[in-house]
Structure formats: structure tokens, C-alpha cells
Amino acid sequence: MEQVSGISSSFLAIERPDMPMAISSVAIYKGQPDDSFPAIRQAFLNGIAHYPIFRRRLLNVPGRLDHPYWIEDPDFDVDCHLRRLALPQPGNWHQFNLQLARLQSTPIHRDRPLWQAFIIEGLNGLSGIPKGSFAVVMRAHRAVADAGALNDMMMRMHTLEPVTESKNARAEMCVRENVPVAGQLLMNALRNNGRRVWQSRSLWRLGYSRYRQQRHQALDMPELPAVSVTRFNRVPSSYRVVSHYSLDRRECETLRRHVAGSSLCDVLLAVIGGALRLYLDRKGELPEQGLVAGCPQRLPRELQSREQGEQPGLLRLGLHTDYASPLKRLRAMQQETLAARARDPEGGFALMNQTSELVPPLLLNLGASSYLRMGKRTRQIYNTFITGIRGSDVPLYFAGAEMLKSFSLAPLLPGCSLVHSVSRWGDDITIGINACREALPDPDVYIACLADAWEELQASIAQPPRVEVKVPEAALRKSAAAQGEHIRAVAESA
């Protein structure tokens, strides 16, 4: 039995039926799953063997006086987490995205381990995908894993060769645990809350030291950008829209070399910023101030939980949507990311982690409920979230089927109705879009804006720089004198 961390508890606290806190990993494979479904089941068992968190369910403390616990599920059955679906024909991208949106709109039940997987068949009309392919969509609660940890779990289920894995002995292993009674849970809550009060002194010292550190850095750092309220800052409804846009990594790498010091991340942020500018401008809603994005960053391995892979580090970046020039936006983005990492290399991990651990759980739950009720009346910190994970550079196979495409989808947050999930697999970079249907009623238009922003950035790099030729002053004086004599001659002849 292991107690849920404070950060994971916060995701459990803010979840509502109309705002599920689930992340999804989407992968498309070549072939039919009919003959390989037992191999698919075994692949999941082999992957779960390395991540016990996927066999554990929640055990709540009476009265929510303490963080819940992860406890081994004695009735764990992988078949209860696997589902098979089929798209209506012709099985095109529109129908596939609709199915993904339905899944993203549905919370994961908490009476079992907080994950589920869907094998989707009938992908016969996806452009760029062979007819008869199938997809695997794995969903996990954000309290269980972040996008990077879920991606690591998915990688465990793949092989480097088109062969099926043999049975893993650890996959069937289930540790029986004694479920503590309510009295024991309440005694633990009393001790833990007393410890939090005693340790709260360290939180004050940490906050004060960070204040002094950032105060000394303030003279050298640019001010954090203000946040303009847009259509993407509404309270999310219960309906979702899902789509994605893919770029070629080699083209992105070629483009970034034209701006000294820029990274692949800067290029992608500039593309997303350009798409947001185009979309809001076409709606007549482009604010004068640039939009701001929250960008979670993975921490060093020694600071992460092996099983949960938490990703609490967060950078606040301006997207410079107030710049019309794509090249100028990219250069500003490069300076922005450097300044953000200099302000806080860990993305506020230390303060965020200690705060979540020392705040009493009852107060945390009350604060989450109050924040959700206040909705748009709270001050906005971000306009959108942009997450990123790195996939494999080599071909992968799942139950003998070759992976053709992969991307991820992140959950929406209070006051943020548009989230971008950037994932890389091989030479393919895919931007997954998850949004509230009321905030983004036309996802195809936004995907077109992403394509236009990418083309504009490429065109701005392709334009040759203007070369200024310096003419000697003597030549300029001689040219001016000759021009004056010509004018006088014309006047006399007239």
C-alpha cells in the first residue's frame, strides 16, 4: 500500500464528470487484430508487470481527511480494462476523431485501477494509412501517470521485431494486501496532518528563499507576459473535439538552423503561436497582447517517481502572437525559452511539490471545489497548455503489427479549453489537439491554421535576405553632380 502524492491528489480533486483528468496515447498499426488479440492481451500483461501502479486501485480515507492510498486490486483482471470498438464505414479521419473525442469526454471509473484501453478496428478510410489497419488507445488518469510515463509504459509493450512476446511470469503476479480498517486510516490521517503542520516551516523558508532569488534576478530577466482572456479560457463543457497535425522532423531541423541558437521546441512553439494568431484573427478576436502557454517539463530521473512519473515542472512562455512576422516570432520564441529556463530551471518543482504535500487534503479538496465554482472569475494564468513527449527513433511492433503513427492527447484544465500535445515518433512530429467543443467548434479550421502557420514560417526562411550595397561617398557626389547637369540641359533645351 502506498499513499497518493499531493500532486496526484490535486488531479483527483479537480476532476468532475464534465472534466475528466485522463491522458491518452493513440497508436495506429498495420494489419487486422482478429488473429492477434490474445497477443495484444499478453502485451498489456507484460507491460503492466513493469508498472505495478496499473494494478492498483484507490482506497479513500473517510471524510477525505487525508490523501487516498494505492492498494493492490485483488480482483484485477486485464480483460475488464480492454475494449474492442469498430468505426462505421468508411472509417475515415473524421469518424476516428469523433470516436477519440467521445473517449476523451468520458471519465475513468474509480472502482478499478485507473486506466483502460480500446482496440479500434475498421480504419479503412484513413488517408496515408493502409486499409484494414487498427488503433490502440490507452487512457490513464493523470494521477496514475503523466504523458511521458504513459508513453514509457506503451513502449514496454512493443518489440523491435515483428514477433509476439512470450508470456511473462511477473504479469500474472498479484500481491495480496490487507485492507486497513477505517480506524487505522483515521489514525494515519491524524499523524500525517500533525506532521504537515510541523513541517510547514520549511515551506515558508523555501518560499522566502525563492522570493529573494527571483528578486535578485528581476533586473536581468524580462517581465512575465500578461494574459489576455480569449475563447480558450472558458470553463470546459462536457463535450470534446479531437484532431491532430503532423510535420516532418527533418524539415523542422533544417528550418531551425536558420535561426542561431533555436531548438526544435522553439520551432514548434512558433508554429502553434502562428496558428493561434491566424485562428483568432479570422474570428475577429485577436488580442493586442500575445497569448501565453503553460509548458510542463520532465524533471531529472532522480526527482521523479518511477511508477507514477510525475511531471510537475511547468514553464510559462509567451507565444508572441502579437508578431505578424513568423521569423520574428521564432527569434522571440528562442529568447523566451532561454529566459524562462533561466528564471526557474526546475519549473517550480520544489515549491510545487512541497506545497502539495504540506497542504491539508481537506483544504486541498475545498480549494479545488471553490476554484471550479469561480470559473472565469479567477485570474487567468495561461491561454493554452503545450505538452511534449519523445517517442522511439526505431520501428516498433505491437503484437506483431507494425506501428504506423502515434500521438497523445492531454486533458483540459479549469479555465483552459485547448491543449496541445506534441509527440515525436521517428521522423514524424504530431501535434495532438484536445479542446472543448464550444471553444473550438471547427477543429478542421484550426488544423488548417496550423498548416498555414507552418508554410508561412517556411516561406519566411526561404526568402533571401535583403543585401545592402554600400556605395562610396565620392561616387554618390559624382552621380548627384551628373544628374544636376542633365536636369539643367533639359531645362535649357525646353
Q: Is residue 145 part of a domain?
A: yes
End position of a domain, from candidates 182, 209, 236: 182
pLDDT at 419 over 90: yes
Please tell me the least confidently modeled range out of 231-235, 248-252, 477-481.
Answer: 477-481
Residues 6+ apart with CB under 8 A from 188: 61, 66, 180
Q: Which residue has the higher pLDDT, 194 or 358?
A: 194
Using the structure block, give the residue that is written with the C-alpha cell 505491437: 398
Amino acid, res. 144: V
Co-location of 259 and 388 in the same domain: yes
C-alpha triplet 108, 111, 114: angle, nearest 5° = 40
Q: Is residue 381 part of a domain?
A: yes
For the stretch 189-227, pLDDT in tens is 778 777 766 666 666 565 556 555 555 544 444 555 567
Q: Is residue 211 part of a domain?
A: no
Q: Which residue has the higher pLDDT, 208 or 247?
A: 247
CATH code for the domain in which residue 252 is found: 3.30.559.30
Co-location of 324 and 388 in the same domain: yes
Strand ranges, E, within 69-132: 69-72, 82-86, 115-123
The per-residue pLDDT for 369 is: 63
End position of a domain, from candidates 150, 182, 214: 182
Nearest to 358 by CA among 130, 194, 135, 246: 194
The per-residue pLDDT for 24 is: 95
pLDDT at 331 over 80: yes
pLDDT at 307 over 50: no
Q: Is residue 409 part of a domain?
A: yes
Please tell me the least confidently modeled range out of 131-145, 216-230, 266-280.
Answer: 216-230
pLDDT at 484 over 90: no
CATH code for the domain in which residue 141 is found: 3.30.559.10
Q: Is residue 294 part of a domain?
A: yes
Q: Average pLDDT for residues 24-33, to the nearest whole number?
A: 88
> pTM for the whole thing?
0.83
Q: How many CA atoms lie within 13 A of 40 on its CB side?
A: 24
Q: Which residue has the higher pLDDT, 341 or 101?
A: 101
Co-location of 260 and 144 in the same domain: no
Co-location of 135 and 236 in the same domain: no
For the stretch 140-166, pLDDT in tens is 999 998 888 888 888 889 888 887 666
Q: Average pLDDT for residues 245-252, to the nearest whole number?
A: 94
Co-location of 12 and 133 in the same domain: yes
The per-residue pLDDT for 214 is: 54
Structural domains of the chain, count = 2
Residues 6+ apart with CB under 8 A from 396: 155, 158, 159, 160, 402, 403
Co-location of 162 and 229 in the same domain: no
pLDDT at 293 over 60: yes
Q: Is residue 470 part of a domain?
A: no
Q: Average pLDDT for residues 367-392, to the nearest whole number?
A: 72
Q: Which residue has the higher pLDDT, 384 or 235?
A: 384
The per-residue pLDDT for 356 is: 58
Please tell me the least confidently modeled range out of 155-164, 178-187, 293-302.
Answer: 293-302
Burial call 309-347: b when 16+ CB within 10 Å, e when fewer: bbbbbbbbbbbbbbbeebbebbbbbbebbebbeebbebb
Give the burial class of 488: count Cβ atoms within 10 A of its Cβ; 0-12 exposed, 13-18 middle, 19 or more buried: exposed
Please tell me the least confidently modeled range out of 285-299, 374-388, 458-472.
Answer: 458-472
The per-residue pLDDT for 183 is: 82
Co-location of 353 and 447 in the same domain: yes
Residues 457/341/149/451 CA torsion (nearest 10 deg)? -10
The per-residue pLDDT for 340 is: 75
The per-residue pLDDT for 351 is: 52
Co-location of 356 and 458 in the same domain: yes
The per-residue pLDDT for 161 is: 86
Please tell me the least confidently modeled range out of 54-68, 211-225, 234-248, 433-447.
Answer: 211-225
The range of the structural domain enclosing residue 415 comes to 222-394+404-462
CB 121, CB 84: distance < 8 Å: yes
Mean pLDDT for the chain overall: 81
pLDDT at 375 over 70: no
Q: Is residue 322 part of a domain?
A: yes
pLDDT at 366 over 90: no
Share of the chain above pLDDT 90, in %: 41
Co-location of 408 and 270 in the same domain: yes
Co-location of 333 and 236 in the same domain: yes
**In angstroms, how far is CA 17 from the centroid of its own chain?**
21
Q: Is residue 33 part of a domain?
A: yes
H-state helical runs in 136-181? 147-156
3-state SS class at 224: coil
Co-location of 164 and 226 in the same domain: no
The per-residue pLDDT for 54 is: 93
Co-location of 152 and 227 in the same domain: no
C-alpha triplet 140, 145, 146: angle, nearest 5° = 105
For the stretch 54-92, pLDDT in tens is 999 999 988 888 889 999 998 899 999 999 999 998 899
pLDDT at 448 over 50: yes
Q: Average pLDDT for residues 290-318, to the nearest whole number?
A: 65
